[in-house]
């Protein structure tokens, strides 16, 4: 009986000697325990990597304790749960983040010191978990951190790709892609659950069978694959709550396929089975379109089917009536990628739970919400009818994934105010007229735990000192308190020192990566994000060429007045995106010329930072003076990089696109450098075609590239064609004049250090609204209708 089981559990718990202790002495013992028994290394000889692994395992143990208790508590309270379904999560590194969220960083630092190691050095040993492409994926990771911190009963679901996003290496200025074997050295942050598995079916036929006079549709699959769960604990900050990110891996199914084995082709049937593992092998490296790829569809369905079986199983453990589903379960579709969930849950409710179509439909309409992260039609997935029909014969209902998601979701979210307007007036105009009440927006955000506390410890200390509290780490609105100190010279001096320290860190990194020595007195001007024509890295490079050209034509006296710049560009191009790859090559070609020009010296440097990812971002963002977010208005749905720079006291040079519009509302247009066509002007400018006015300087820069001033003349022609008058879809030419003016305004502000520092402080002070805590709270209250559920300590 229950009493007996409880007594047994209590006896076992007493044998465990209670929870793990967090004093430095206990931590040392635990780390050494893992060196000996987990890493199986000889006690007195282990290198930094092994020390990192042992350290990570000791942290993992502490996460597991809280993760267990959190789930026991969630189960007990039976509160409504959120399931966040996303094909991508860019978690980056976990060690520092976990230790900080557990609140035991000082104890760990001391423990390691006593063992003769340094925490920061070991933390550098960790590789990134790069299970995503760009903004959408990092935003998912930030949301997980906020869900845990705000005590929401939430689960994340995703895929455990064997290969994350490719590593970018640069050879002779060209991008090459290398596979990311991130699991080769083990992953201490995941827990393999060999018993949490589900069968996922593919292909085959649908047959009608007669069951006691009732006609039922039965799917006879052609292939079955097994999904195995890998759990990744996500700790909240300042709370015991540690939620779960469950990632699925594909394994050959156990089910006997008698026919294959009976034909005697034993070897081949095993080889064929191994191929099924390929489903979760690799992340698709395009961040905007995945049109009509069979493996991509298989991944999506594999993910959706395993997740929903798991969710329904958990629901049925505690409830026996599906009418309760909408009060117990919120399912969130992160973009259209998991939208097959809608068809799959209908299949489960109709075919397996025998609810009947209309009853199932009524339930399904109350549980889904959907966020779209794109503005352009080519970003909306479409699946060819015959592909869906052959792979999922029972799901063939609708194939425009966005339409499916809108029809069946109670809420359709945009990711910024501007984006939402575009959705209502353009992309989904018809749907908006039909159901205006469904359309909302929840502006994106980023977590200050990762983007200040982990990545910028000196700023973190300074903020707590001047705000007189660490409470901003859980409540970013408190950052507005910095405005009270902006006139204090001591504060400003300390602020400046922090920036300088971070610039030093970045300068060292640049020197090791590229051999270029940069001056700390220069303005560090950064653009890091995926390479896309609409993000206009080319506009930035053209601006740099223009600057170089001006410097070359100046006399020595005038040069002395120029603000020295270090221009930093980083980002990956999708492997098949030719123009983006040419932009990377051009950046290297210009850098080669500029950086080796003795005439120019420290006045201008251009560096391309290879393999931009989360951990590189943690280093680059705190060290930036200026950052560029210069997409053609109307093309960046939100943009979240800008929010991280803002938090780190970095000034923005930006167009009025995506979330920048709301940043301006918080910050005031005087505190950033704004330029370019407004969203409502873009269509008209495009219509002008070859009659569009383009400044002479633009034509001159274009000519230089075309004439081979930076080499590779032939290779760059097609790139130049994309911005030639009449063909310049992203309006680089027509925005060039105002771009240069904004750059000049930035130079002017930089030579007044007091003014610059004030703007920097005001930037950080305005960043509170862009915390993902605010985003998650809005979603929780308005869209998901879930309440916090805090596990007692
Ligand atoms: N590429 C948007 O383009 C937005 C993020 C997160 C993007 C970007 O503006 O900030 O999503 N869209 O909402 C997609 O990935 C489809 C992105 O990261």
Mean pLDDT across 616-628: 98
Q: How far apart are CA 22 and CA 26, in angstroms?
A: 6
Is 526 in contact with 626 (CB distance < 8 Å)? yes
Mean pLDDT across 58-74: 97
pLDDT on residue 276? 79
Catalytic position from the list 167, 288, 530, 582: 530
530 flagged as catalytic? yes
Mean pLDDT across 593-604: 97
Catalytic position from the list 70, 197, 411, 640: 640
Write the pLDDT tens digit of every residue in 17-48.
778 999 999 999 999 999 999 999 877 788 99
The mean of the pLDDT values for the chain is 94
Separation of 300 CA from ligand 1 center, angstroms?
19
> C-alpha distances in angstroms, 649 versus 46, 451, 496, 567?
40, 12, 10, 18
Return the H-helix or E-strand segment holding 513. Answer: helix 489-514
**DSSP letter for each residue of 111-124:** HHHHHT--HHHHHT
For the cut 60, the answer to whether the pLDDT of residue 397 exceeds it is no
Mean pLDDT across 223-232: 95
Helix then strand then coil, in percent of the chain rounded to 5, is: 50, 15, 30
Lowest-pLDDT choice from 121-130, 369-378, 472-481: 369-378
Ligand 1: residue of 136, 141, 338, 646 to mutate (most ligand atoms within 8 A of CB) is: 136
Confidence of residue 257 (pLDDT cuts 50, 70, 90): low
Is 728 in contact with 690 (CB distance < 8 Å)? no
Q: Which atom of ligand 1 is nearest to the CA of 444?
A: 13
Is 364 in contact with 349 (CB distance < 8 Å)? yes
Lowest-pLDDT choice from 54-58, 278-282, 697-701: 278-282
Write the pLDDT tens digit of every residue in 684-710.
999 999 999 999 999 999 999 999 999
- Coil, helix or strand at residue 731: coil
pLDDT on residue 270? 78
- Coil, helix or strand at residue 654: strand
Is the CB–ligand 1 distance for residue 136 below 6 Å?
yes
Mean pLDDT across 292-309: 93
ipTM value for the complex? 0.96
* Percent of all residues in the chain with a pLDDT value above 70, rounded to a whole number: 97
450 flagged as catalytic? no
For the cut 80, the answer to whether the pLDDT of residue 399 exceeds it is no
Tokens for 631?
């997409």
SS3 for 396-456 is ECECEHHHHHHHHCCEEEECCHHHHHHHHHHHCHHHHHHCHHHEEECCCCECHHHHHHHCC
Q: What residue ranges in 223-273 does DSSP mark as E strands?
A: 223-235, 242-252
Mean pLDDT across 277-296: 83
Write the pLDDT tens digit of every residue in 736-777.
999 999 999 999 999 999 999 999 999 999 999 999 999 999
Is the CB–ligand 1 distance for residue 444 below 6 Å?
yes
Q: How far apart are CA 113 and CA 105, in angstroms?
A: 12
pLDDT on residue 256? 59
Q: How far apart are CA 721 and CA 726, in angstroms?
A: 10
pLDDT on residue 261? 59
Strands 81-85 and 329-334 turn out to be parallel
Size (the chain), residues: 793
Cα–Cα nearest to 528, from 669, 406, 679, 639 = 639
Is the CB–ligand 1 distance for residue 231 below 6 Å?
no
- Coil, helix or strand at residue 749: helix
Confidence of residue 262 (pLDDT cuts 50, 70, 90): low
722 flagged as catalytic? no
> C-alpha distances in angstroms, 365 versus 404, 522, 660?
11, 56, 34
pTM above 0.90, yes or no: yes
Beta-carbon neighbour count of residue 507 at 10 Å? 19
644 flagged as catalytic? yes
Q: How far apart are CA 517 and CA 616, in angstroms?
A: 18
Catalytic position from the list 71, 298, 373, 532: 373
Confidence of residue 291 (pLDDT cuts 50, 70, 90): low
For the cut 60, the answer to whether the pLDDT of residue 479 exceeds it is yes
The alpha carbons of the chain give a radius of gyration, in whole angstroms, of 27
Residue 724 makes CB contacts below 8 A (sequence gap 6+) with: 702
Q: How far apart are CA 585 and CA 716, in angstroms?
A: 9
- Coil, helix or strand at residue 364: helix
Residue 219 makes CB contacts below 8 A (sequence gap 6+) with: 201, 204, 205, 206, 347, 351, 393, 394
Tokens for 463?
């903020």
pLDDT on residue 329? 98
Sign of CA pseudo-dihedral 59, 64, 65, 67: positive
Residue of minimum CA distance from atom 11 in ligand 1 = 136
Residue of minimum CA distance from atom 6 in ligand 1 = 136
359 flagged as catalytic? no
422 flagged as catalytic? no
Residue 167 β-bridge partners: 178
Beta-carbon neighbour count of residue 15 at 10 Å? 7
Write the pLDDT tens digit of every residue in 568-586.
999 999 999 999 999 999 9
Buried b (16+ CB within 10 A) or exposed e, 581-597: bbbbbbbbbbbebbbee
Q: Which domains does the chain have, with CATH numbers?
A: 22-77+103-127 (no CATH), 84-93+128-409 (3.40.50.2000), 462-768 (3.40.50.2000)
Helices (H), 639-695: 641-647, 660-667, 679-688
pLDDT on residue 216? 83
Strands 205-211 and 214-220 turn out to be antiparallel
Is the CB–ligand 1 distance for residue 88 below 6 Å?
no
* 555 DSSP assignment: -
Strands 242-252 and 154-159 turn out to be parallel
């Amino acid at each position: 009986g229950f009493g007996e089981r409880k007594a047994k559990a209590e006896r076992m718990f007493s044998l465990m000697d209670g929870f793990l202790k967090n004093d430095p002495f206990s931590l040392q013992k635990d780390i050494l325990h893992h060196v000996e028994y987990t890493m199986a290394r000889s006690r007195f000889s282990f290198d930094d990597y092994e020390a990192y692994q042992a350290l990570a395992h000791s942290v993992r143990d502490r996460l597991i304790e809280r993760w267990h208790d959190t789930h026991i508590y969630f189960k007990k309270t039976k509160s409504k749960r959120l399931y966040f379904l996303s094909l991508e999560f860019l978690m980056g590194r976990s060690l520092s983040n976990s230790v900080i969220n557990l609140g035991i960083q000082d104890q760990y630092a001391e423990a390691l010191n006593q063992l003769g190691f340094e925490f920061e050095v070991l933390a550098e040993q960790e590789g990134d978990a790069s299970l995503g492409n760009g903004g959408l994926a990092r935003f998912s990771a930030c949301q997980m951190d906020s869900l845990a911190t705000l005590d929401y009963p939430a689960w994340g679901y995703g895929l455990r790709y064997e290969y994350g996003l490719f590593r970018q290496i640069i050879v002779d200025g060209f991008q090459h892609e290398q596979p990311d074997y991130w699991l080769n050295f083990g992953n201490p942050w995941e827990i393999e659950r060999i018993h949490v598995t589900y069968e996922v079916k593919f292909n085959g036929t649908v047959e009608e069978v007669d069951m006691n006079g009732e006609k039922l549709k039965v799917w006879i699959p052609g292939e079955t694959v097994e999904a195995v769960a890998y759990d990744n604990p996500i700790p909240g900050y300042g709370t015991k709550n540690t939620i779960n990110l469950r990632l699925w891996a594909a394994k050959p199914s156990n089910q006997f396929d008698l026919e294959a084995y009976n034909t005697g082709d034993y070897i081949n049937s095993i080889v064929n089975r191994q191929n099924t593992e390929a489903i979760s092998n690799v992340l698709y490296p395009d961040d905007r379109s995945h049109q009509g790829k069979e493996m991509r569809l298989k991944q999506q369905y594999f993910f959706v089917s395993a997740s929903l079986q798991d969710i329904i199983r958990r629901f049925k453990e505690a409830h026996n009536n599906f009418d309760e589903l909408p009060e117990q379960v919120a399912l969130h579709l992160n973009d259209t990628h998991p939208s097959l969930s809608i068809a799959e849950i209908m299949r489960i409710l109709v075919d397996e739970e025998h609810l009947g179509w209309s009853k199932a439909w009524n339930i399904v309409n109350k549980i889904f919400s959907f966020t779209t992260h794109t503005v352009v039609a080519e970003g909306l997935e479409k699946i060819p009818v015959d592909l869906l029909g052959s792979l999922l014969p029972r799901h063939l209902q609708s194939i425009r994934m966005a339409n499916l998601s809108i029809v069946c979701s109670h809420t359709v979210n945009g990711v910024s105010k501007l984006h939402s307007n575009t959705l209502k007036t353009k992309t989904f105009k018809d749907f908006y007229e039909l159901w205006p009440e469904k359309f909302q927006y929840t502006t994106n955000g980023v977590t200050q735990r990762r983007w200040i506390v982990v990545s910028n410890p000196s700023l973190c200390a300074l903020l707590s000192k001047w705000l007189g509290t660490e409470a901003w780490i859980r409540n970013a609105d408190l950052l507005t308190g910095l405005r009270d100190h902006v006139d204090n010279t001591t504060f400003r001096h300390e602020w400046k020192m922090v920036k300088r320290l971070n610039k030093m860190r970045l300068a060292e990194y640049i020197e090791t990566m590229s051999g270029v020595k940069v001056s700390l007195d220069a303005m560090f001007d950064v653009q890091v994000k995926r390479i896309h024509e609409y993000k206009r890295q080319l506009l930035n490079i053209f601006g740099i060429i223009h600057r170089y050209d001006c410097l070359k034509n100046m006399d020595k006296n005038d040069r002395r007045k120029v603000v020295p710049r270090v221009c930093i560009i980083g980002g990956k191009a999708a492997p098949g995106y030719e123009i983006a790859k040419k932009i990377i090559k051009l950046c290297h070609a210009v850098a080669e010329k500029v950086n080796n020009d003795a005439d120019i010296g420290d006045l201008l440097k251009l560096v391309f930072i290879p393999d931009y990812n989360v951990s590189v971002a943690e280093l680059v963002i705190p060290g930036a003076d200026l950052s560029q977010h210069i997409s053609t208005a109307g093309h960046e749905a939100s943009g979240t990089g800008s929010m991280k720079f803002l938090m780190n006291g970095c000034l923005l040079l930006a167009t009025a696109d995506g979330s920048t519009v709301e940043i301006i509302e918080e910050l005031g247009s005087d505190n950033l450098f704004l330029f370019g066509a407004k969203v409502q002007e873009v269509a008209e400018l495009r219509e002008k075609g070859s009659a569009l006015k383009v400044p002479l300087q633009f034509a001159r820069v274009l000519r230089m590239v075309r004439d081979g001033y930076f080499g590779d003349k032939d290779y760059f022609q097609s790139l130049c064609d994309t911005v030639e008058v009449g063909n310049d879809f992203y309006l680089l030419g027509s925005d060039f004049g105002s771009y240069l003016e904004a750059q000049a305004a930035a130079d002017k502000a930089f030579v007044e250090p007091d003014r610059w520092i004030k703007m920097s402080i005001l930037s950080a002070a305005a960043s509170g609204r862009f915390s993902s805590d605010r985003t998650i709270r809005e979603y929780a209250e308005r869209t998901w209708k879930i309440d916090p559920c805090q596990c007692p300590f």
